[in-house]
Chains A and B, each alone.
Chain A
Amino acid sequence: MNKQRLRPPGAIAEAEFLATCIRCGKCSQICPYGSIKTAGLLDGPIMMGTPFIVPRNKPCYLCMKCTAVCPSGALKRSVRKKEDVRMGLAEVNKKECLAWQGTLCRSCYDECPLFNEALLMDKDLKPVVDEKKCVGCGVCENVCPLDTPTIVVKPGGRL
């Protein structure tokens, strides 16, 4: 229950986010992809009403409409460019990743919205996350062809 959730773009650090989010639901209403879900009672009364994203179901496509409508600053309104988002950080499970295990696969690399910046291919064609550039949108996690994604976004606002 207390597992941290991936927050929408522009989210401030989790403890601050929980104190600042007024649970109005505007970000989820404005999201054109239906990526932003709303936590319910089963997520705990403190989480209830807060927005979150499950990238495996639907990642954030970084259209940046939600930061613009947040009334409380839980999603920083100053974050208007996708490059500035730090909602989480992608991590590659090198033991399971097809590319790292020698099969040709570049699904995550091809789909990353910050193409060839946040996710790079090393000289052996293995995907490597640039922790300074990765925004945590979860598109890579969404497109990973394996049943259990081998690239996963670790939630946590880093703004």
Chain B
Amino acid sequence: MKLRTSRRIVQISSLALFVIIPLLNKAEISFVSGTLYSMAIGPVWITDPLIGMQTILTSLRFDGTLLLSMAVPVSIALIAGRVFCSWICPQNTLSEWVDQAAIRIGIKRLFPSTAVPRVRTVVTALVLLAAPLAGFPLASLLSAPGIITAQTAQLIKEGVVGAEVVLIAVILLSEFFLARRVWCNTLCPVGGFLALFRIPRTLRVAFAEDETRVCGRCRSCVDACGLGLDPLTGKIHPLCHNCGDCIASCEDLKGEKKPLQFRW
């Protein structure tokens, strides 16, 4: 199956999953429960490392279960990069759709590219510091995937949504009219924290030309990148979240060996 199709299926399944989980829980089937703040799939517990870190910083307690549940997403990030963002995160899915709609309609955005390195790392650090310094769980209130899944669950269980959803609307409207993909690229603390877990052997998109892999500079990969990055520069990390759209667009071209590949 084509990479892009697989990713879409996983993304839509992820959106569906966080509607199905609260419905199952409501029917008292609870082998799987939780949200993208923290969830349980049978005996496997998974907690967003950013949220877990915030709890550790504010409570100064090292809860073994919490640390273990943070290890799952951290390991995935170390091995495969931020595939959580590109394949699972519902905010990214919504942002991608809004971005494609804006492009199709032809909205001229004030900031057509927000691919600025390091801003997100600083934002993440500030967000994490707010918790221990001001006793304010800012990371929880700025975790877009957490908010989307928790509010969906709350809507299904209690019939109401909280004011948190305003953030999601603000993100989508800003990205539609003002700055292309600004949340994921420069502000999201969830992605910013996950991006810290990178080693030289982490899966990445590599641009490498040799005699057998020649790039025709058609720039279809640049157009394909939903984050507005330029894979030809070779400087797309840590903003690149390994969605593989650039690689897929390169593979669409005729010929067998292409200069864009996933590399460990």
- Which residues of chain A have a CB within 8 Å of any CB of chain B? 16, 18-26, 28-30, 32, 34, 37-38, 40-42, 45-46, 48-49, 65, 69, 71-73, 77
Contacts and interface: CB of A to CB of B under 8 A. Distances in A.
Given A18-B135, A26-B33, A37-B158, A48 B45 contact: no
Contacts of A20: 55, 58-59, 61
Nearest to B64: A73
A77 B162 contact: no
Given A19-B135, A49-B141, A72-B55, 18 more contacts: A18-B137, A22-B51, A23-B51, A24-B35, A24-B38, A24-B150, A25-B35, A25-B150, A29-B33, A34-B157, A40-B162, A46-B135, A71-B65, A71-B69, A72-B66, A73-B65, A73-B66, A77-B65
B157 A22 contact: no
A71 to B, nearest CB: 4
Contact of A46 (B69, B137, B146): B137
B189 interface: no
Contacts of B154: 25, 28, 38
Contacts of B45: 71
B25 A29 contact: yes
A29 B140 contact: no
27 contacts: A18-B135, A19-B59, A20-B58, A20-B59, A22-B51, A22-B54, A23-B137, A24-B37, A25-B37, A25-B153, A26-B35, A26-B38, A28-B154, A28-B158, A29-B21, A29-B33, A29-B153, A34-B158, A48-B162, A49-B141, A49-B162, A69-B40, A71-B34, A71-B40, A71-B69, A72-B47, A72-B66
Contacts of B21: 29
B30 A65 contact: yes
Q: Of residues A21, A49, A77, which shows the largest number of chain B Cβ atoms within 10 Å of its Cβ? A: A49
Contacts, number: 121
Nearest to A42: B163
Contacts of A69: 30, 33-34, 40
A71 B66 CA distance: 6
B141 A24 contact: no
Interface in B6-57: 21-22, 25, 28, 30, 33-35, 37-40, 45, 47, 51-52, 54-55
Contact of A41 (B22, B28, B65, B164): B164
A19 B37 CA distance: 15
A19 B35 CA distance: 19
A42 B113 CA distance: 36
Contacts of B47: 22, 24, 71-72
Contact of A38 (B33, B141, B158): B158
B150 A30 contact: no
B63 interface: yes
A72 B63 contact: yes
Q: Of residues B21, B59, B135, which shows the largest number of chain A Cβ atoms within 10 Å of its Cβ? A: B59
Contacts of A72: 38, 47, 52, 55, 59, 63, 66
B39 A28 contact: no
A20 B63 CA distance: 10
A30 B35 contact: no
A3 to B, nearest CB: 18
